[in-house]
Each structure stands twice: as C-alpha cells, then as structure tokens.
Structure 1
Amino acid sequence: MHADQPSLQIEALVEGGSRLKGKSADEVNRLPVISSTPTNTLYSPIAPAILGLFASRGAELIDVPILQTADPFLDVEERHGCIFTTESEIGENLCLRPGFTIPICLDHIKSRATARRYAYIGEVFWQNRQGGSEFLEAGIEDIGDAEVATTDARSIGDAYAVLELTLPQFDLAAVIGDKTIFEAVLTALDLPIRWQKRLARAFGAPTHLEVVLGDLVKPMQRRKLGGALSLFVGRGELECLTDHIATAMELAGFSLVAGRTPHEIATRLIESNELTRVSLPKAALEALEDFLSIRVPLEQAPDALRGFASAAGLALGPAFDTFLARADAMAAQGLPFGRLTYDAALGRPHDYYTGLVFEFYVPGTDRALVTGGRYDQLLTLLGADRPIAAVGFSVEIDRVVRLRETIA
C-alpha cells in the first residue's frame, strides 16, 4: 500500500480524522478509536451482545490501537506483502492493525500480568487472496493460565457460546486438531531431531508436509560445498555457519533482513545435508500416513488413537494424557460432542502453535467462522523472559452477519 493510503484508512476510523495530520504514531494511538467505543456505527449490531457474553465469561475488554509497529507481524507471522504498511516521520515501520493477538501478547508481556483473559472487537486490515481487506473480528485470548486442558476446553466453549448466541437457527460443527499428538508420534518413531522439527513446521500445510515426507523417503543428492561452508555444514555448526553466511552477504552487498536471513539459509543447508544421510523406513512412513488419515467424531478419537498407537507399536505419552483431560473438561462444559470432529492432520504451519487448534463452521459453507488454538511459544518469540501459556480464538463477525442475513 502507498504510504499515504493508511492515513486515509485511519481517518475513516478515528473520531475527527483531520486531527491526524502532522501527528506521530503515539499521538494517533491516543486518539479515540472504534475499539474503545463498541456502540460506534461501524460496528455490527450484534457487537453489544457479543461483548456482554465476553463479560459474563470473565474476559476483560482491551483497547488495541489501529496503528501498530509492523515488525512483530513481519518477523513472527511473516506477513510480508499482505499487510498495509507506512513509515512515521522518524522512520518507524508502521502498519494498520492486521490482528489482535500479537498486540495483546505484547501488552501482557509489558504489564507483567499473571493469568488474564482479554476480550477484543474491532476491524483488522490485511490483503485476503479471496477478496477484501477490512474485516471485523472479535475474540478472547486466555494468557498465563498453565492449566492446559482446562483453558483449551474453555476456549472452545467460549467460541461455541459466541456462535450459539449469534446464530441460534444454524447447525454448528467444529473440527479439532492437536500438534502435540503429531509431535509425540514423531518422537516415538525415533526420527532425527532436525527431521522432527522440519516435519512439525510443515504440520498443517498438507502440500508442504507431503514434500517433506517425500524427501525423507528419497534422500536428496549431497550438495557440493567448498571451504568453510562444507566444514560448518558437515559438522552441523549452525551458529558458525550463520555468522559465515552473514559476513559473506555483507561483503557482497546483500541485505540481511530482506528475503531469507542468514540463520534461515544456514538452517536449510544443514537440514539439506542431513537429508542425504536419512531415509525413512517404510514402516515409519506407513505409520505417519495412518496417523494423518485419522478423522473421527471427537468422542471416538481416544479409541482411534489407542488403536493406532497399538498397531504401530508406539507410545503417545503425556500428549495423549492431555488430550484425554481436555476431552473430559469439554464434556464437563456440556459441549455437543456429536458436532465435534477430530482431524489428526489439522494444524497451523507456524512454529509458535504448540497444541490444540480448532475451527467452527456451519455445515455446507466453505469457510470457518471461528479459528483458534494454543500458541505457547508466541510470547517467548515476542520477548517474554519465560514461557507463558496462551490459547485463544477469533470470530469473523462479517461472515456471521452474512449468515444471519440469509435467514432475515
């Protein structure tokens, strides 16, 4: 987006848009924004009911400014090319708010809060390949509560309650996945650690995962490298290799931040070298394929996973215990198990997702109304000095409204 365009977007969303001229990002963000005025006409008429539900479930409404520092979205979520960016007068990289989760996590880190439930509602801005660039979202982020099974179940329950409130005339369904179960399978298969990490990163991206599995079955040809590169790659010395590549890039005049970073290049070189030495046994490949094909009603999932593990001779360990505890917590909330499906292949292809993922939809429609999941590694990536548990979801209010209009 052209540097002048974001200011036009903000002028339409901030009371008295003409007051933006000549102001810094901090000054803009101190102006009243729609997220602090839920009755604003830009909001859907169902917003007050949603906010009332959030309050009744113990979630505190938080105000997230529309203008955000862009770097966290670019570095952590790799949203290059799909967010609306500009620069401040002092050269700060800024963007229109593409989401709420990262700003809320940063606020949690800064405030040094303990366990807290954050509620939000407001517009987000990003280029969607399916069309559109402005969307209304609401959700709850549950941060700092280490009771994983309980908070997972509560997040699913929160999301279901929103849809049950706003779409009472529609049948609802959900699909649930769990990255920790997939990682437990990889560990039980005793794959090399770097291969486990690569497969885990591809989890949730079926095409990419298929390519990685293909590489494992048919090892790549060894790449010819010379000098120090060959030495560092052969020994798997990631830090030394990263420094060597960074020095070479600087001498050649290449940017260290535009495109792939020296660390990413070094990691890929070492992984590619390991591909030449590893071949996945047929039994292990078949076990992975059998696992990824599991898709059953959630109430049948424990037996399906037990059957898979027994047939493959694998132990799923603590990940399966958490899975069972979550199912018990969901049952205690009275969630409709008959409408919930477990899909072993469902995930998110981001490193910071660490366990549960879920989606709610209306059967017969083509897109999810709600997406959610656990992201325990995100706060550490954003600068937290210790691991912090986190799970949450977002509801696409625009899609909910369109469905309501089909009834009206």
Structure 2
Amino acid sequence: MTQFGAPAFAADLARALAARETNRVDIPLIQPAEPFLDMAGEDLRRRIFLTESETGESLCLRPEFTIPVCRAHIAEGVATPRRYAYLGEVFRQRRDGSSEFFQAGVEDLGEPDEARADARAVSDARALAAEFAPGAALTITLGDQSVFEAVVAGLGLPAGWQKRLIHAFGNEQALRAMIARLASPDSSAAPDGAVAAFLAAGDAAGLEAHIESVMEATGYSTHASRSPAEITARLMDKQALAATRLSAASLAALKSFLALDVTLDRAAAALSSFARDAGLDIAAAQARFEARLSALAARGEDLATMRWRAAFGRPLDYYTGLVFEVAVGEAGLVLAGGGRYDRLMALLGAREPIPAVGFSLWLDRIETVRAGR
C-alpha cells in the first residue's frame, strides 16, 4: 500500500525491494528516544524531534529505520539470517528540505558471509538508485571503519586516543584537529598548581584526597556529580592524552593512510602498499577488505567505477566496517547510503552477536533527480 504523501514511484520501489528476498516491516512513528540518543551519533541526535509520554518516558518521532528495525527483530525473536525492507517517513531537522521525508531501505541481519552481504548491500543500493533515477551519473564511494581502526591500533596510541580518533572517523575536520594535537600536544589548558603537581608525580591517591578535601571545603555534593575517584581517573586520563605525541613516522603513516583515494580495482594494491611501507600488520582487516572486493566483482559490479577513500565515513556512531554512499551530480547529492554495524544488535539487547549491514534510499532526493531539478 502506497503511503499518503509518498513519491509516485514508491509502489514500484516497494515491489523492487520485495524482489530482493526481503521481508517488509512496518515500524511505529513514535519511538523510545534513548536508543537513538545513545547510539546514533551527535549529528543525528541534535536533529531528533523529542517529546515525552505521560509517564515521563522520553520519546521521539522516528528519525531513521536501522535502530527500530533491529529492535523489532530482537523483540520478535525470529531466526537469522533475515533480510528486512522498509519504506516510510522519517523526521529530522534539516538545514535544507523538509524535516518530514520518506526513506526506503534494507537491513540484512545475520548473514554469516559478511563479504557477500556487504557486496549485496552496495550492489542493491547502486542498482535501485540507477533504476529510480534513470540516466543520473552516479558516483559510489566506499570507506571502511575497521581498516581505519586497525591502522590506529597499529600505531600504538593509548586506548583513549584510539577511541577519540575512531569516534571522529568520517568527520575530516575533527580528524585533522586531532592529528594536529597529536603532532603538537596542547599545554595551554594546564590545571591549577596543586592538581598539576599530583598529575606530574602520577600520584592518583594524593590527587583523589586533594579533590575530596576541596569538595568538602566548598560544600560540593558528591551525590550530584562525579565522585573524587571518578574525577581523579578522568584527570589522569586527560593528562596522559594531552602528553601523548605521535612520532614523525607514525604521523606520516596516519596522514598517508587518510590520503588514500583510488578506484576499487586499485584499492587492494594501494592498501597493501601502504601497510608494507608503514610497517603495520593489518592483515586481518586487509583480508576482509579484499574479500569484499572479490564479492563485488562476483556480482558483476565494475570496480573501476567505484572509489575507496580511506578517510570516508558516515555520521552515525554504530558503524563498524564498510560504509558507502551513492551520490549524483557535482554537488554530490546523496541518494543512498549505508554500512556494516556488527555491534549494534548486541548493544540493543540481542542474546548473541549478530552481523548486520544495510542501506537507506532518500526518496525526496531521488524525486528531485527524476524531476530534473
């Protein structure tokens, strides 16, 4: 059934999704807000329309489909692998365009052959964009968060810095700022003298006692904020991060990796050459990367028409591996995007890890291309 306000091609798109071995799922418009606030990422969090139930539960208008489709799958307790399709409205504050628009897509849950599932997601997104925006000059860009994580881990950075860099993946401005800090640590925001002395000596116990005495003297309640122990741990961690400096060789390697931008038919060789020159052992990530390329080629995709950008990511926190977008025109209007999110199912309450990958189509943008605007 075509929904009121949906584009004229929505019914045909629904049939095309059904033909791809999917199960149509309907998701309520009103959703609990907590999963999105915890797992979707800052870019989406600040665009959500929030409300509250009579009992005080934080609710929101459905801002995307991946999280609620996964929650519905867990609630139903059905077996995997299982492939879901959806088509409906989402609600987000946007700088351009309506805040109420239609998305369609596929969530592929539990497929054990991850390379096959990744390739199918990219291939289906490209094919559907090409079918419903006929004649459009499409560009397909891939990234891989797991490869980036392997590179960062191989550089031997402290866990705190690894976490910061991984969290910023896909935000090139934030990554550049972090790399600049790693090249020249910032000492401008030094703590007061007493705290600095404890930090310099690595005296956690002394620092905790000092913080506790200050809190008692000022009447600051530990029940309303972090405890002295938590504040001490945070300050010690912050000090360690601020003092970390990336060696010239490691800095050059990180910059070299992020500069990689090649067609997919050259991507395996480019990644292998980088790892060899940088002296990094990222063999496991390389194997997954190459298996995906082979799976795409096996589906008949022309790798020479797609690009891999090492710095490319998408602004959702739950991605763990492949990320991709299908865009059109010089302005790079994104018609489809998706990726792999293997940790999300467990975070949402699944009893065991479930591999997952999916993509969304932006129907308002496809409609704009179809209209020649």
TM-score, normalization by structure 2: 0.86
Aligned match of 2:81: 115
Q: In structure 1, what is the Cα distance between the partners aligned to 2:165 and 2:131?
A: 39
Which letter does structure 2 place at the counterpart of 1:89?
E
Contact kept in structure 2, 1:217 and 1:280, CA below 8 Å: yes
Q: Name the CA shift for 1:349/1:88 in 2 (closer, same or farther; >3 Å).
A: closer
Given the superposition, is the C-alpha separation of residues 268 and 365 from structure 1 closer, same or farther in structure 2, using an over 3 Å criterion?
farther
Match of 2:55 in 1: 90
**Residue in 2 that maps onto 1:223:** 191
- Equivalent residues in 2 for 1:275-286, closer than 5 Å: 275-286=241-252
> Which amino acid is 2:34 matched to?
D
Q: Which amino acid aligns with 1:298?
A: L
Question: Which whole-Å CA distance do the structure 1 matches of 2:63 and 2:229 have between them?
Answer: 26
The separation in 2 between residues aligned to 1:255 and 1:70, in whole angstroms, is 24
User: Are 1:251 and 2:221 matched, yes or no?
Assistant: yes
Rounded Cα–Cα distance in structure 2 between residues aligned with 1:234 and 1:183: 29
Q: Do residues 387 (structure 1) and 353 (structure 2) align?
A: yes
2:262 touches 2:307 (CA, 8 Å); kept in 1?
Answer: yes
Q: What is the aligned length?
A: 358
SS of 2:312 mapped into structure 1: coil
Partner letter of residue 61 of structure 1? R
Shift of 1:293: 0.5
Cα distance, 1:250 vs. partner?
8.8
Deviations 1:188-246 (A, max 9, x none): 2222222222211111111111121122222233534868xx68x95899xx9xxx9xx
1:284, 1:71 → 2: CA distance?
38
Shift in Å, 1:276: 3.8
- Distance in 1, Cα, partners of 2:28 & 2:317: 26
Q: CA deviation at 1:254?
A: 5.2
> Can you list the C-alpha shifts for 1:330-359, whole angstroms capped at 9, x where unaligned?
001111223200100001355421110000
| Native 8 Å contact 1:223 1:273 kept in 2 | no
- Label 1:217 to 1:117 Cα distance change in 2 as closer, same or farther (>3 A): same
Separation in 1, partners of 2:76, 2:307: 38
Unaligned runs of 5+ in 1: 1-37, 257-261
1:299 shift after superposition: 0.6
CA distance in 2, matches of 1:119, 1:355: 21
What corresponds to 1:49 in structure 2?
A: 12
Distance 1:308 1:316 in 2: 10
Among residues 59, 65, 68, which one is paired with 2:31 in the alignment? 68
The answer on whether the counterparts of 2:52 and 2:58 sit within 8 Å (CA) in structure 1 is yes
With the length of structure 1 as denominator, give the TM-score of the two structures: 0.79
Q: Which amino acid aligns with 1:341?
A: R
Q: Quick one: higher RCO (CA 8 Å, sep 6+), 1 or 2?
A: 2
CA contact (8 A) 2:204 2:232 kept: no
Matches within 5 A, 1:201-212: 201-212=167-178
Identity level (%): 43
Mapping for residues 4-403 of structure 1, pairs under 5 Å: 38-77=1-40, 78=42, 79-113=44-78, 114-221=80-187, 223-224=191-192, 251=221, 269-403=235-369
Structure 1 residues 187 and 87 mapped into 2: Cα distance closer, same or farther (>3 Å)? closer
RMSD between aligned alpha carbons?
Answer: 3.1
Work out the CA distance in 2 between the residues paired with 1:147 and 1:263: 45
Change (3 A) 1:112 1:176: same
Give me the whole-angstrom Cα distance separating, in 2, the residues matched to 1:266 and 1:203: 28
Does the aligned pair in 1 maintain the 2:33–2:58 contact within 8 Å? Answer: yes
Relative distance call for 1:254 and 1:366 in structure 2 (3 A) is farther
